[in-house]
Amino acid sequence: MKWWVKWGITYTLAHLPGGRILHHKMVRSFGELAHLESSTRFANTEILLEMAQRQCGTIEGKIVAELGTGWLPAVPLGFFLAGARLQTFDVVRLAADEIFAKTRDILASRTAEISRASGVPEETIRARLQQIAAADSLAAACEILDGRYHAPYDTTSLPFDSGEVDLVVSNLVLQCIPNDALPAVLAESWRILKAGGVALHRIRMSDEYAADASDRNHLEYLKYPDRTWDRWFNHSLKHINRLRASQFLELFEQAGFRLIECRRHTDFDSIPFLKQLELAPQFRNLEWDDLATVGIDVVLQKEA
């Protein structure tokens, strides 16, 4: 699909009464949710489980807060199967019951991968799947596995005591939080973490409208000044802050985190394209590699 068709439909629905409901229907019928088995979210979950296992030794019994549940709850369910006591939060309630059920079924076909990523025996994972076999919603499954699904919820004020949480995780969420809200969300995750606790964030930094579109480079969105971007591309159905890797890393440091690991995914092939693009003023003093970094997986620590 041409990028501007995708953009036009989303923009129109965001400004129509009842547009949110129509948008939800469209995403479920034609988007990634229509082909759940090929969704990258399952592989993403295994990456996060591996990162968590490497940092914490075991995920079993750990208190975990997930930011940004989303539509397809593979990450929260994956952590539950690995034994976490998890609470998941989103500003919008998106995890529909039928998507929850399909996600659980797909996870049931990936127990070997989850076991490998989390270090938890496959029989234990299967036993936990059995426990939630009759659950009809994500909220019900969370309750059974000693957790909770909170949405809509303000993630700048989470229901944990200071220092209560072992792990904060998010998958493809921080790029969706408005610039003016992000410092408060990071400060809140720092507050709830134990001293020595870690936050794992996977962040994507490219234009979602350009994904799978042959008529647009996924970094072309860096040409718009903020005013234009906010006016035409950010709305109630989608928000992308366009922060670059160096800017995220600076915000993490300002929130008090120590960066332990940062895996970068840089699209070096797009650098010649960027060099001929008229970049918006706020991106002009950044390095080419930084501008072309389209994803980072970070491990942050609240120092003991």
Ligand X SMILES: C[S@@+](CC[C@H](N)C(=O)[O-])C[C@H]1O[C@@H](n2cnc3c(N)ncnc32)[C@H](O)[C@@H]1O
185: helix, strand or coil? helix
Residues 6+ apart with CB under 8 A from 221: 206, 207, 209, 210, 229, 233, 240, 242
Alpha helices in 165-244 (DSSP H): 182-192, 226-232
Contact status, residue 107 vs residue 114, Cβ threshold 8 Å:
yes
Task: Select the residue interacting with ligand X from 48, 52, 62, 70 (CB under 6 A).
Answer: 70
- Residue number with CB closer to ligand X (90 or 267): 90
| Pairing mode of beta strands 258-266, 148-150 | unpaired
Task: Select the residue interacting with ligand X from 48, 65, 72, 139 (CB under 6 A).
Answer: 72
Tell me the site size for ligand X, rule CB under 6 A.
Answer: 19
- Residue number with CB closer to ligand X (176 or 286): 176
- Residue number with CB closer to ligand X (187 or 271): 187
Distance, in Å, from the CA atom of 225 to the CA atom of 282, rounded to the nearest integer, reads 8
Q: Does 92 bind ligand X (CB under 6 A)?
A: yes
Distance, in Å, from the CA atom of 118 to the CA atom of 79, rounded to the nearest integer, reads 9
Task: Select the residue interacting with ligand X from 27, 67, 145, 222 (CB under 6 A).
Answer: 67
Site string for ligand X, 141-160 (x = CB under 6 A): --------------x-----
Sole window of 12-20, 21-29, 177-185, 222-230 interacting with ligand X (rule: CB under 6 A): 177-185
Q: Does 78 bind ligand X (CB under 6 A)?
A: no
Q: How many CB atoms lie within 10 A of CB 193?
A: 26
CB 220 → ligand X: shortest distance, Å? 20
- Residue number with CB closer to ligand X (70 or 197): 70
Q: Does 68 bind ligand X (CB under 6 A)?
A: yes
Q: Does 89 bind ligand X (CB under 6 A)?
A: yes
- Residue number with CB closer to ligand X (106 or 277): 106
256: helix, strand or coil? coil
- Residue number with CB closer to ligand X (90 or 207): 90
Residues 6+ apart with CB under 8 A from 202: 44, 47, 48, 170, 171, 172, 295, 296, 297
Q: Does 94 bind ligand X (CB under 6 A)?
A: yes
CB 86 → ligand X: shortest distance, Å? 13
Q: Does 171 bind ligand X (CB under 6 A)?
A: yes
Which amino acid is located at 192 in the chain?
I
225: helix, strand or coil? coil
If phi over 0 gives left and psi between -120 and 50 gives alpha, with beta otherwise, what is residue 210?
A: alpha
Q: Does 185 bind ligand X (CB under 6 A)?
A: yes
Q: Does 91 bind ligand X (CB under 6 A)?
A: yes
- Residue number with CB closer to ligand X (66 or 220): 66
- Report CA torsion sign: 109, 112, 114, 117: negative
Distance, in Å, from the CA atom of 16 to the CA atom of 24, rounded to the nearest integer, reads 13
CB 73 → ligand X: shortest distance, Å? 8
End-to-end CA distance of the chain: 49
- Which residues of this chain interact with ligand X, rule CB under 6 A? 41, 67-68, 70, 72, 75, 89-92, 94, 155, 171-173, 176-177, 181, 185
